Structure 1
Amino acid sequence: MLTNLDLVELTAFRRLLHRFPEVAGEEVETARRIVGALEALSPSKILTGLGGHGVAAVFDSGVAGPTVLFRAELDALPIEEKNSKIDYASEVDGKSHVCGHDGHMTMVLALGRLIARQPVAKGRVVLMFQPAEEDGSGAKAVVADPAFQEIAPDWAFAIHLEPGRPFGFVSTAPGLINCASLGLKISFAGKTAHAADPEDGVSPARAIAELIPALEALGTGGALDAAFRLVTLTHVQIGAPSFGIAPGDGVIFATLRSTHDAGLEGIEAGARALADAAAEKYGLTVDFEIEDHFAASINAPEAYEVAAKALDRLEIAHSGAGVPMRASEDFGVFGWGAKAAMLCLGPGEGYAALHNPDYDFPDDIIPMGTAIFEQIARDLLGTA
């Protein structure tokens, strides 16, 4: 159990992280602070530079047994914080921890304190602080890093604070938790012309006008079942903001979403075919770029059962209410090689939504999140 001194120190550390956010791929100082906090716990090993700036601490019992990984995220968001209620707001212009990753890191560090004091009886506990969750690249980079093979887990667990749920209530279930998604950038190139003589150029205007409804028709939402598809247009631009130039280029950003990875591949193939056809019809060239690519996050039934039993032992209310979600989370990648489960922990009704400029992680939920992690670790690995 965490002491009052633990909670004071962990809260101060969480607020320090909050003041100095770093976005995906830039988490140098955040990783350094995490390493410093981990070194004080004397783990068996600390790995750095995983998949970029990722950090992992290993607590090895020295007795054969499974490896259990608990994940947190290092990165913040490119959002200007607007929260006059706190005195530890972001000191970095245009960046902030408004998705709760500062709190997630703190809960995993808190687990490290408990494991350091009372080691597990068998196997290994791995505290994983992964980079670049917000753009979907971090977990893939970590798992692909050769050094990750040293700590490849048999089990993996994560907690994400999710507003819209009562304080301390956990939403989780076997199967899908977060949808697969990707950002598809479609760029058309033609030829500019004088606005008085548009026929001298090759404009993408008609191609984009036809493509917009065609893309949206590929996925219109609906129930989160195997047939779910959603295409959301997030940005459209044709030419430059000028009255004298007929446009010669254009771009569409579309977010594609499905309940499974194969479905996402199908939507992408459909979108590319539509764009290729439009380009050919209007004499344009077309290029594609993929960004923010997230695999579906799926709870293995065995990992869900472990988590559910831990919640029951702690008398924490839980159900499948609120999951699965349309939103994406790259934790699912850890489930490619391990039995994994994501738990969505409620901060209380009426709490600010994630990615809002006034969001802040509630420090009073730290003990509960830590207790859930510890119970899972003890259930799987025992206590020495």
Structure 2
Amino acid sequence: MGLTPEDMSELIAFRHELHRFPEISNEEEHTAQRVVDFLANTNPGNVITNLGGYGVALVYDGDEPGPTILFRSELDALPIEEVSQIPHRSTVAGKSHMCGHDGHTAILAALARQFGRQKPARGKVVLMFQPAEETGNGAAGVVSDPRYDDIRPDFAFSLHNLPGTPLGHVRLKPGVVNCASRGMRITLEGKTAHSSMPETGISPMWAIATLMPALVGLGSGSFNDDEFSMITVTHASMGEPVFGIAPGHAELRITLRTRLDERMAALCADAEAMAQEAASRNGLTAAFDYHEIFVASINAPEAVEHLRTALDAEGISHDEAELPMRASEDFGTFGHGAKSAMLFLGAGTDHPQLHNPDYDFPDDLIEIGTRIFMRTARNLVG
């Protein structure tokens, strides 16, 4: 049984409600509860809450043995002030769903409605409403939760909407689709001094000034090369915002990016060595820490074929263009224990880009995304 007009009206209203009340990564308590409340009447065999944070997993069991398949959406919004005047615009200052996670969640809610009416014939279907995708710790928290062992999938699927691509057209390919990345914070410590006598202190000025271009220069290789690496300087600070004190402290934040996880360790080592050498040369100490760690997202060929079969059956156009992407996605973590694949669903060629302050998820994609995933599920578990 497919979605009725009443279903679609209620799913769109649900998506709009999520949009009005956004919660950023690791704060999705009320968003998770809205999901649980909205889908309570779909009668899942099991509901797991607070999974890896505020994650929610709804499990629909078949009567016969079979594979476990997982579909993932994200719960978190972004710390961006929405500028649009849509009726369902964010009611929370400085926070908004500018990546479409509200729409992805509505797609999984549509699956829940259909599995509530007709459960899988075999195996089990897990609908994973994941927290904290934007900070990279959500998927890692889910798979490290001991309760994940009870729902560990054979196949994992996800999608992300993609502005700049025709509405409803799909980008999909096997292999790398999203880069590995992580944030690195470099802290340099010296000694403050009176600004009239800077020679009596130890300033990080020269070190931080030379490090920024030098670290960027560590990037190498073409993006189409597995040896590709890239460093982006995202923030720098030094001393206090005053005129009487020569600085004794500085921080530099950079993002390291590689196509493959194996290349990341070497890039981190090179960046640390360069920063340590600059610190020593200038009489400073250096310290390092890492944040927002994303592994590479790699689509398994067998999982991709299941999605392609569903796309062809539903008459949805697809190709491999524009993949892989430099951007990161923490869905790659699920691929370390399952055959996983993510597809990218076109949001329109002229649609505002992800993370733009005037972005809004196209409601027309709820029905399209649901058809793709539902066909994939029925092919695998009936």
Q: TM-score scaled by structure 2? A: 0.98
| Structure 2 Cα separation of the partners of residues 109 and 42 of structure 1 | 12
Q: How far apart are residue 213 of structure 1 and its match?
A: 1.7
Letter aligned with residue 349 of structure 1: T
| Structure 2 Cα separation of the partners of residues 203 and 248 of structure 1 | 5
| Structure 1 Cα separation of the partners of residues 88 and 39 of structure 2 | 23
The 3-state SS of whatever aligns with 1:106 is helix
Equivalent pair of 1:220/1:231 in contact (CA under 8 Å): no
- Counterpart for residue 197 of structure 2: 197
1:279-309 deviation per Cα after TM superposition (whole angstroms, max 9, x unaligned): 1111111111211110000000100011111
| Structure 2 Cα separation of the partners of residues 157 and 102 of structure 1 | 17
1:234-284 deviation per Cα after TM superposition (whole angstroms, max 9, x unaligned): 111111222221110111110000001111111111111111111111111
Equivalent pair of 1:59/1:124 in contact (CA under 8 Å): yes
The 3-state SS of whatever aligns with 1:65 is strand
Q: How far apart are residue 39 of structure 1 and its match?
A: 1.3
Letter aligned with residue 254 of structure 1: I
- Counterpart for residue 351 of structure 1: 351
Q: How far apart are residue 348 of structure 1 and its match?
A: 1.2
- Counterpart for residue 171 of structure 2: 171
- Counterpart for residue 82 of structure 1: 83
Equivalent pair of 1:188/1:279 in contact (CA under 8 Å): yes
Letter aligned with residue 60 of structure 1: D
Greater mean alpha carbon deviation, residues 177-186 or residues 272-281: 272-281
- Pair 1:372-2:362 in alignment: no
| Structure 1 Cα separation of the partners of residues 250 and 305 of structure 2 | 50
- Counterpart for residue 224 of structure 2: 224
Letter aligned with residue 159 of structure 1: L
Equivalent pair of 1:162/1:344 in contact (CA under 8 Å): yes
- Counterpart for residue 43 of structure 1: 44
Letter aligned with residue 261 of structure 1: D
| Structure 1 Cα separation of the partners of residues 221 and 370 of structure 2 | 36
Q: Which runs of 5+ in 2 are unaligned?
A: none
The 3-state SS of whatever aligns with 2:325 is coil
1:324-343 equivalences in 2 (<5 Å): 324-343=324-343
- Counterpart for residue 292 of structure 2: 292
| Structure 1 Cα separation of the partners of residues 223 and 329 of structure 2 | 19
Equivalent pair of 2:220/2:227 in contact (CA under 8 Å): no
Letter aligned with residue 110 of structure 1: A
Q: How far apart are residue 223 of structure 1 and its match?
A: 2.4
Equivalent pair of 1:174/1:304 in contact (CA under 8 Å): yes
Letter aligned with residue 179 of structure 2: C
- Counterpart for residue 5 of structure 1: 6
The 3-state SS of whatever aligns with 1:365 is helix
1:207-236 deviation per Cα after TM superposition (whole angstroms, max 9, x unaligned): 112211210111156323202111000111
- Counterpart for residue 160 of structure 1: 160
Equivalent pair of 1:158/1:341 in contact (CA under 8 Å): yes
Letter aligned with residue 138 of structure 1: G
Letter aligned with residue 119 of structure 2: P
| Structure 1 Cα separation of the partners of residues 32 and 176 of structure 2 | 30
Equivalent pair of 2:221/2:227 in contact (CA under 8 Å): no
- Counterpart for residue 14 of structure 1: 15
Q: How far apart are residue 312 of structure 1 and its match?
A: 0.7
- Counterpart for residue 254 of structure 1: 254
The 3-state SS of whatever aligns with 2:348 is coil
Q: How far apart are residue 120 of structure 1 and its match?
A: 1.5
The 3-state SS of whatever aligns with 1:250 is strand
- Counterpart for residue 32 of structure 2: 31
Root-mean-square deviation (CA), in Å? 0.9
The 3-state SS of whatever aligns with 2:42 is coil
| Structure 2 Cα separation of the partners of residues 188 and 40 of structure 1 | 56
- Pair 1:306-2:342 in alignment: no
> How many positions carry a matched residue from both structures?
381
- Counterpart for residue 276 of structure 2: 276
Letter aligned with residue 143 of structure 1: V
| Structure 2 Cα separation of the partners of residues 162 and 264 of structure 1 | 26
1:340-374 deviation per Cα after TM superposition (whole angstroms, max 9, x unaligned): 00000001111000000000001111100000010
Equivalent pair of 2:231/2:255 in contact (CA under 8 Å): yes
1:171-210 deviation per Cα after TM superposition (whole angstroms, max 9, x unaligned): 0100001000000010101111011100110100111122
Equivalent pair of 2:82/2:94 in contact (CA under 8 Å): yes
- Counterpart for residue 213 of structure 1: 213
- Counterpart for residue 185 of structure 1: 185
The alpha-carbon distance between structure 1 residues 236 and 221, as it changes in their structure 2 partners (threshold 3 A), is farther
Give structure 1 regions of 4+ aligned residues with deviation exceeding 2 angstroms. Answer: 220-225
Letter aligned with residue 129 of structure 1: F
| Structure 1 Cα separation of the partners of residues 177 and 198 of structure 2 | 50
| Structure 2 Cα separation of the partners of residues 245 and 200 of structure 1 | 11
The 3-state SS of whatever aligns with 2:66 is coil
Q: TM-score scaled by structure 1? A: 0.98
1:53-87 deviation per Cα after TM superposition (whole angstroms, max 9, x unaligned): 00000000131100000000010000011102x11
Percent identity of paired positions between Structure 1 and Structure 2: 54
